[in-house]
Amino acid sequence: MTRRFSMMFFVLIFTMLLAACTNDSDVDDAVEESSSGGEASDNAEGEEQGASGDLTIAMMDDAVTLDPHGSNDSASAQVRRNIYETLVHQGVDMVLEPGLAEDWEATEDDVWTFTLREGTTFHNGSDFTANDVKATLDRVRDTAVASQVAFLFEMISEVEVVGDYEVNLRTEYPFAPLPSHLAHNTAGIISKELIDADYQAALDAGGVDMTADEYYELREEGGSEYEEVAESIAGETGSVIGSEADGTNHLVFESRSPGDETVLQKFEDFQGGDRNFETVTFRVVPENGPRIADLERGNVQIAGDIDSTSATRIEEGADTELVEQESVRMSYLGFNTEKEPFDDIRVRQAISYAIDRDEIISGVYDDMGIKAEGPLAPDVWGFDENLEGVEYDMDRAKEILAETDVADGFQTTIWVDEDPQINDTAVYIQEKLSELNIDVQIEQYEWGTYLDRTSQGDHEMFILGWTTVTADADYGLYALFHSDSHGSTGNRSFYTNEEVDRLLDEGRTEPDEDTRFEAYSQAQEILIEEAPAAYLFHTNFAIGVNSSEVSGVDLDPVGNIRIENVSFN
């Protein structure tokens, strides 16, 4: 009893001393300082600024490269979008907003004028100007770079620097979705200084006695000499940019251990608002179990790529929260249409009829998704709700296969990456196709190897997903099914159809929205009929958050984890 009284007395005296030392004017000054001046914060109005800390995000896949023009995979995009800013910013709701460009307009049918943001610096300290925009967009279209995402920008014929903070983008034809393409993560603006260094390294490695500026002049002129030099440095570009990323966004590249983690540090001179993190580490944790365990223990604050079987566990966890989002992603079973027997439309149709998509969604994805009627998700512009997809019909599948040269069945393979649910989907398809006497072996590859080998056409069947990042049909169809996109660009089915090519070309060149829609509708009808892929489902994206440590984490329909508003509790 005496001990308890003594302790209460001590606490009372300490509280009185603390109150005596507190000056009300200091509090008023602090409130005034935090509520006036400085850059606008991305936090919701009225929300208290949270404490700062070190954020760790567990990802299933590793980034392939930090070079925005070096790959088009989602894991790389997740890291890169925090290093680089784009001219046009795409919000969580997919609405286009000012980014490095404050304003833009189509001043002519084939000319877009962009007014750029002033007072912005790169991580290396150099000022952002129109020259950086030109250097970036010229590079991604350079044949020497051979970028997988050149198709996103190939309609740009010239980048004209009008002033330090104004550029004109001239296009070969009217192209309505250009602002959406410029919001893609691969359109992140790289400092000209870094681009110069990257080209110089490539020229030196290719044995070309020329400066980067001389190469640019040669590229502007075109001709056989440029083609010869471009061929000499092909495969040499990207070494500097891939290891020394330099953008203007809120995180600065600090270190990278391939297969393990990438560490980024807060950019103190970021112009886009306050941030509550000091460092952000993207840690590679391929297995679902360890990734969730790390989240529950507080080893990581965010866990990406949460599968449906783990969703309930995170929802019911005392310190974890599930963030789920409907997506613009389409998962599909692709066929290599250049290999027998998949060069026969009827074989592809039979397999497509043999797959019960609803069973996959309920059995593998626990109803976290919807059936795909075709290659576009319902929230993508150009999706035609009147088109009917393939319904499960095993009898019809057997009838169609009986008309082919492989009526008695055949042996084949399905390639998958390390995603457990994709593997489960492959096992389901394996079992269903056995009813057609199709003997399927499942082969699993590491993500980078998987992308590389499918781009080379080594496969027969494969399961992959495509996210229509721009929310426009051009991106959702051109990369996957145009004959100019064979391989790493996206058309890993190596599908060629002249009528589809014509319709997709019309869709991207026609300024009239109704005419564009009709072109895409006809293209989807053909793609459903000819089945270069069996369109499976549109899954929901989900991530786990350790709610005892952080709040304010968002997830967009593209699957990007948005950390702009993160606060530490």
CA-nearest of 118, 92, 90, 87 to 104 is: 87
Question: What phi and psi values does residue 216 have, to the nearest 5 degrees?
Answer: -60, -40
**What is the tens place of the pLDDT at every residue in 405-431?**
999 999 999 999 988 899 999 999 999
Contacts of 19 (CB under 8 A, 6+ apart): none
Can you tell me the distance from the alpha carbon of 186 to that of 189, in angstroms, rounded to the nearest whole number? Answer: 9
**What is the tens place of the pLDDT at every residue in 348-390?**
999 999 999 999 999 999 999 999 999 999 989 999 999 999 9
Give the three-class secondary structure for 262: strand
Predicted confidence (pLDDT) at residue 24 exceeds the cutoff of 50: no
Can you tell me the distance from the alpha carbon of 558 to that of 374, in angstroms, rounded to the nearest whole number? Answer: 18
Q: Is 329-539 in CATH node 3.30.565.40? A: no
Place of tokens 């360890």: 290
Predicted confidence (pLDDT) at residue 6 exceeds the cutoff of 50: no
Task: Please give the class, per CATH, of domain 50-84+241-326+540-569.
Answer: alpha beta
Which fold is adopted by the domain 85-189? Answer: Dipeptide-binding Protein; domain 1 (3.90.76)
Give the three-class secondary structure for 4: helix
Model pLDDT, residue 431: 97
Q: Is 170 exposed, middle or buried (0-12, 13-18, 19+ CB in 10 A)?
A: middle
Can you tell me the distance from the alpha carbon of 18 to that of 249, in angstroms, rounded to the nearest whole number? Answer: 42
Spans of all domains in the chain:
50-84+241-326+540-569, 85-189, 329-539
Can you tell me the distance from the alpha carbon of 151 to that of 478, in angstroms, rounded to the nearest whole number? Answer: 8
The mean predicted confidence, pLDDT, of the chain is: 90
Neighbouring C-beta atoms of residue 157, cutoff 10 Å? 12
**CA 488 vs CA 183, 217, 306, 353, 414: distances in Å:** 21, 29, 27, 28, 18
The band of 304, judged by pLDDT with boundaries at 50, 70 and 90, is very high
Q: What is the enclosing helix (H) or strand (E) of 205?
A: helix 192-205
**What is the tens place of the pLDDT at every residue in 494-534?**
999 999 999 999 998 888 889 999 999 999 999 999 999 99
The residue among 113 and 47 whose pLDDT is bigger is 113
**What is the tens place of the pLDDT at every residue in 250-279?**
999 999 999 999 999 999 999 888 999 999
Contacts of 201 (CB under 8 A, 6+ apart): 236, 239, 240
**Residues β-bridged to residue 266:** 251
Model pLDDT, residue 50: 56
Tokens describing residue 377: 């998700």
What is the value of pTM for the model shown? Answer: 0.78
Radius of gyration of the chain, Cα coordinates, nearest whole angstrom: 26
Can you tell me the distance from the alpha carbon of 231 to that of 133, in angstroms, rounded to the nearest whole number? Answer: 24
- Contact 253/245 with Cβ under 8 angstroms? yes
